[in-house]
Structure 1
Amino acid sequence: MQERLGRIAAKLALVAGLPGRAHSFGEEAHRFRLGPPLPESRVTEFETEHGIRLPEGYRSFLTTVGHAGAGPHYGLVPLEDWDLAVLDAVRPGHLREPFPLSPFDPAPGPDWYDALDDEDAEPYPGALTLTHRGCSHYTLLVVSGPARGRLVNADLDMRPPHFCHDTDFLGWYERWLDETAAGMGTAGFDLSLPYGEPELASVLRDAADAHQRRAAAWTLGRYPALAPASRSLLRAAALGDAADEVRRAAVIALGRRPVPDDESALTRALADASAGTRAAALRALARRGGAWHARGRALLSDTCPEVRRLAVRTLEESGVITAEDLIPLLTDPDRSVRDAAAATLQGPARK
């Protein structure tokens, strides 16, 4: 443990000054500085007050490395602000109550909150706030229940929470430091796998679990540069994976920094069976060359209204949409498509 803490402290001392490091959303709030470590007595007092024992990695970090400040997004919140993600007044025993979800259970669906036993229950008992990720999004550390020690990404607008893939606080924190040093921003950090590029490529190629393949594709897409073999695997996944979610994630990954071979795969993905993948390919191809324009125009009559609307916007952004493309859409059955077509026709003169 002490060796691990020392390694993290050394990385934190260096990362802000590294050439090529990522400059991420929220870092201006902490500037890679931590407050001083908390006295053991203060941590013990907190634990006694709430009837819990903090997970060991987080506890040792607070008393050895530092407290509040440098961390993902807006940084680590002070221990006394543990209840930032509590919606109502804090009830006695909030942190003692077991967290209702586990990373070993099926992922919660859109109605997860309605399924809780108590309709007035706080959604995230047994967990304290680690960091604010912006808007209604927070990362929590579970301190009670079967998921104790795990980190969970929560949304106070009640979209389904999801567990980080890291197995403890120290792994999560050190991964943030390593990824920052490697030029990877925090966008997508909370969905990513805690592996290096070779391991991620293996997961994308070999994992039986589609959720794992999706996470691998998503994580690879965050790298500022990829080995040709990794790009080849992403192209194969974008065009041939059996799971819609994996194809879409691979398309998004390729679209961040595409090379010519990637653009060819993205163009082919415009014909994907999944509307979400077709939409992702459109977004990735906006303002990139012209080889995709014919397939993009075909999507103006797509079966999915969202794709039709996005095709209008993408062709407009690329400067190639015409009045001839738009006029038939003025009678589209979907109002949002009609509105998009009308608004675009009122723009610069069309051919």
Structure 2
Amino acid sequence: MGTPLAEERVAAFEARHGVRLPRSYRTFLREIGNGGIGPHYGLLPLTRWYVHDIPATTERLGSVFALEPTDSVATDWARLRYLQNNPPYAGTLTVVDRGCLEVTLLVISGPARGRLLDTDLKDLATPPTFHPQPDFLTWYENWLDTLPGGELVPDFRHQRLGGYEELIDTLADSGSACERQAAAYTLGGRHPLTDRARDVLVQALADDPDRRVKMDAARTLTELDSDAAAQVLASALRDPDHWVRRRALVHLLQVTNDETAYGAAARELLQDENPNVRMAATDLLGRAGWSSHGNP
């Protein structure tokens, strides 16, 4: 289980997004853990409240998620999607990544505040499915009750058990790309970063032969040390793997708005050899307000 969050860290997240987290989820973060063992690929730490490289806006969590858990969910969802200007899941945060763009969300604002729901981000026209439990702790306890023999089996792709130094050693020295990836991902819930952890993550992003390790190293650096992340992410914009180039741009725009320092390198991706990178760069740089032709 991830290390519990201090009150000031939870309060800082709430202040940044203009929200108050539901009491049950807040209790879990403060007293039990910040992410860790859970359904599917496990519980996400609070820093990963959005997934799949969708850049966040400061207003998204504070927006009202208007859907109610009633028998008319399908009809209401169609009407709300037609009327609302916000992204369809504004007012929610991601607590579980179930794979293939399927996620479990926690409602932060609106009539269903505190409830959890499942949705498929590949098909936004299909309404989400609400879990029956009234709050996060009840939902998590129910999941624990369903485990065979009550045993926790840490077989989740993106998590790894072990102490802080063990995770760093695994990332630095393991011959298994899967183990290195899991270590890079799991370090994201072990704050703050030590100097050694930071150095190993930077080295992994720069030199690891597996793109999955690089991308999770980029994610963890972005979440826990934005100052260290910016320069190495800018270098990763020229990585030989197009997936890494795209992820580096996503995370770079999360940690800096310094177009003077990083705009030229970022704009090179508008001419990238890979069409998916070009499309992503056009979208992401446009959202960030970075010009497509350099500073005037």
**Greater Cα radius of gyration, structure 1 or 2:** 1
Per-residue CA deviation, residues 282-335 of structure 1 (Å, 9 max, x unaligned), is: 01111432322112111111122221122123322333214x58xxxxxxxxxx
2:118 maps to a residue whose letter is C
Distance in 2 between residues matched to 1:300 and 1:269, nearest whole Å: 15
CA distance change for structure 1 residues 133 and 204 in 2, over 3 Å: closer, same or farther? farther
Name the CA shift for 1:302/1:133 in 2 (closer, same or farther; >3 Å).
Answer: farther
1:273 aligned to 204, 220, 240, which one? 240
- 1:30 and 1:257 map into 2 onto residues whose CA distance is 21
Distance in 1, Cα, partners of 2:187 & 2:7: 21
Q: Select the residue among 273, 279, 284 that pairs with 1:303.
A: 273
Match of 1:19 among 7, 18, 22: 7
Distance 1:321 1:31, change over 3 A: closer
2:285 is matched with which residue? 315
State how 1:44-55 maps to structure 2 within 5 Å. none
Residues 150-299 of structure 1: matches in 2 within 5 Å?
Answer: 150-151=152-153, 163-164=155-156, 191-286=158-253, 287-290=256-259, 291-299=261-269
Alpha carbons 1:150, 1:164 under 8 Å: kept: no
Counterpart AA for 1:312:
T
**Deviation at 1:205?**
0.6
Alpha-carbon deviation of 1:26? 7.8
- Deviation of the 1:214 alpha carbon: 0.5
Amino acid at match of 1:164: F
Q: CA deviation at 1:258?
A: 3.5
Instruction: Give the distance between the partners of 1:304 and 1:244, measured in 2 at CA.
Output: 16
1:316–1:218 distance in 2 versus 1, CA, 3 Å: same
Q: Quickly say closer, same or farther: Cα 1:225–1:245, change in 2 above 3 A.
A: same
SS at match of 1:221: helix
> Is this contact kept in 1: 2:193–2:225, CA < 8 A?
no
Does the C-alpha gap of structure 1 residues 222 and 30 become closer, same or farther in structure 2, counting only changes over 3 Å? closer
Cα separation, 1, equivalents of 2:284 and 2:197: 28
Q: Which amino acid in the other structure matches residue 258 of structure 2? A: G
- 8 Å CA contact retained: 1:214, 1:246: yes
Percent of aligned positions with the same letter in both sequences?
26
Q: Which has the higher contact order (CA 8 A, sep 6+)?
A: 2
1:133 Cα deviation from its structure 2 partner: 6.8
Q: Contact conserved, 2:221 with 2:228, CA < 8 A, in 1?
A: no
For 1:35-65, what per-residue CA distance to the aligned partner results, in whole angstroms no more than 9, with x for missing partners? xxxxxxxxxxxxxxxxxxxxxxxxxxxxxxx
Aligned equivalent of 1:143? 148
Q: Distance between the aligned counterparts of 2:244 and 2:213, measured in 1?
A: 9
Amino acid at match of 1:149: E
TM-score, scaled relative to structure 2: 0.50
In 1: Cα distance, 2:151 partner to 2:21 partner: 25
Counterparts in 2 of 1:283 and 1:228: CA distance versus 1, 3 Å: same
Q: CA deviation at 1:21?
A: 5.9
